[in-house]
Structure 1
């Protein structure tokens, strides 16, 4: 009997599904499948026992509940003495089942990665939307300990599905107006508990993709005087998602409800479906700060990485004091019309393998 994920990947390859406007996800599906099949792959769930016994799960649960309460007090929705904690034993039992993903090379960096972004917690600039306080816990799955010396990079589209710092057909109206902005892009170091914290917005949808945030994990990078990083290695590239019913509620709020691009649901997004394979859950756990989405959100996710892994994602632009500038010889240049990464088709051998899986599925 063929492994489910292999058959699933083959079916997706056969459809030639679209990733961003003008491209498709065949390359990313193959990358994700290759890692799912790797015999040394470890997930966050595999570290459950170690993380529970070390007390880390308990500490993070208490910290997160305190942080949500702090946000609610600051927004006027709770009093300092109102904190009610969920049973820690229940949390330890459920750990690793939800909102925990392994950032294998499960997803593309996409055509809109801009390198050289600033180290900062607040990514909003002037962008509007469902304001989200996001805590990302990074775990070394090879040693089952928090990663305390990494930089987490985060970026996503705005509420109407437009990325800043880049210009491309299909990115908004295709004009150069977003080149001068670095909104919703930035990096944060992981602290002593392995946590990086951001303030961003729930990303809007755009043609061909469900709503998602991009992330890259940097190791051994040097902090520069201009508040950026240089050097080091990149272990993993990944994407975070939003539960579909909740996303539907977000889309009804302003300015999401002004977005006229075609919606792609989680179920119809091949990268989301591949991200759910292998026991991972790339969907963020989100709580309301107040009584409605407009009052703000608190989101968390635990991600597993292998710090020794070395990936080579390719940026399309570099952030400068003058805005986004092209990276010479980037394979994403000209996206989605003339770039080297446009219209990817798997090599013939891989297409043949995909066909054999489909024909031999039981």
Structure 2
């Protein structure tokens, strides 16, 4: 059984940081600590030599440079022939020093996961904010090869003012999620899935998520394997190897928060340094922060973000959604432990039930 570190154990009963307004991070802390202590845990860094020798690092660096240039050309900030490339040798020598990785889930799915979202690249659905073209590379840390034909799921909170609703998750209704009313149930904005290509890349168009009380700005992600694409552009079946969260570097995030509509969000800001889950996500050589480049001269011109995430496709995680997405909006998922969040749900406060806590510790 994995033992929680003294620092973590001391922080759990005293922490005032909530996973979501009114919630408790203890379950997420337990899962993250189990990940860090897992005897078979491997990182992207451990695959550095293989990824360089196979040419994958070089190819991905050049692809990302080309994509950023294409975005700049399309936005009118560069000319087609102006691409200036960075020395690949320098990139290869630095690779893996700052790369996200996981074997077990980095953190739990949280109370606002909605199953049945659409496979699509553009997640905006009318939402405004710092538009971000996001590339996620998925690497198999057991073989040191890119993971192909997996589905990466992504969701985050909004940044758009609608009355006082900022930092809100669509598809769910809960106290602390905006005004707690049913209006957010009818939208699936900022949610969706994308399949990984031959080089392991899943591509999204989303925004830098808005902030809400108790958490720093973050995106949620789940990696599915062996799922079947249905005619209605959703997936079915398969397994889940990874449940994690992605973050934004604090200095850059401070600049984002000065732009519209983020700057009219009056909720208390929690910085990365104040977010216990961010701190745990950054332990053990992991770096869950996105690498972000400006497309133009300022944030409002758009952003290009990248991150490499290591997974073990044979790992089996069992996150549970709170809702299902349907043609008429978000509907309750049967017997979800998140139902009633943050007041009456099974995972609302304290540690997970003893049986589940034992499972988390053994993982």
Would the TM-score normalized by the shorter structure come out above 0.5? Answer: yes
- SS of the equivalent of 2:212 reads coil
Aligned residue in 2 for 1:129: 129
Tell me how far 1:349 sits from its aligned partner: 12
Alignment of 1:103-252 (within 5 A): 104-159=104-159, 160-252=166-258
Kept after mapping to 1: 8 A contact 2:101/2:311: no
Kept after mapping to 2: 8 A contact 1:99/1:284: no
Aligned residue in 1 for 2:8: 9
Aligned residue in 1 for 2:163: none
Correspondence for 1:344 among 324, 335, 350: 350
Tell me how far 1:97 sits from its aligned partner: 1.4
Aligned residue in 1 for 2:162: none
Distance in 2 (CA, whole Å) between partners of 1:6 and 1:263 is 28
Aligned residue in 1 for 2:63: 63
Distance in 1 (CA, whole Å) between partners of 2:58 and 2:151 is 24
Unaligned runs of 5+ in 2: 160-165, 358-363
Deviations 1:136-188 (A, max 9, x none): 00000011000002000000001120000000000011111111100000000
- SS of the equivalent of 2:273 reads coil
Normalising by structure 2, report the TM-score: 0.93
Distance in 2 (CA, whole Å) between partners of 1:315 and 1:9 is 27
Tell me how far 1:258 sits from its aligned partner: 1.2
- SS of the equivalent of 1:24 reads coil
Tell me how far 1:98 sits from its aligned partner: 1.9
Distance in 2 (CA, whole Å) between partners of 1:290 and 1:334 is 43
- SS of the equivalent of 1:31 reads helix
Normalising by structure 1, report the TM-score: 0.93
Distance in 1 (CA, whole Å) between partners of 2:7 and 2:46 is 23
Kept after mapping to 1: 8 A contact 2:102/2:242: no
Mean alpha-carbon deviation: is it higher for 127-136 or for 324-333?
324-333
Distance in 2 (CA, whole Å) between partners of 1:100 and 1:89 is 21
Correspondence for 1:329 among 313, 322, 335: 335
Structure 1 segments, 4+ long, off by >4 Å, are: 346-351
Distance in 1 (CA, whole Å) between partners of 2:110 and 2:152 is 17
Kept after mapping to 2: 8 A contact 1:133/1:198: yes
Tell me how far 1:37 sits from its aligned partner: 1.0
Correspondence for 1:285 among 281, 287, 291: 291
1:95 aligns with 2:95: yes
Mean alpha-carbon deviation: is it higher for 112-121 or for 98-107?
98-107
Deviations 1:248-294 (A, max 9, x none): 10001001011111111101111100000110000000000000000
Unaligned runs of 5+ in 1: 352-362
Distance in 2 (CA, whole Å) between partners of 1:13 and 1:32 is 13
- SS of the equivalent of 2:300 reads helix
Distance in 2 (CA, whole Å) between partners of 1:7 and 1:301 is 31
Mean alpha-carbon deviation: is it higher for 96-105 or for 321-330?
96-105
Please report the RMSD computed on the Cα atoms of aligned residues, expressed in angstroms. 1.8
Structure 2 vs 1, CA of residues 256 and 127 (structure 1 numbering), >3 Å: closer, same or farther?
same
Kept after mapping to 1: 8 A contact 2:170/2:187: yes
Distance in 1 (CA, whole Å) between partners of 2:96 and 2:201 is 16
Kept after mapping to 2: 8 A contact 1:124/1:184: yes
Q: How many residues align?
A: 349
Deviations 1:111-133 (A, max 9, x none): 10000000000000100000000
- SS of the equivalent of 1:277 reads coil
Aligned residue in 2 for 1:80: 80
- SS of the equivalent of 1:139 reads strand
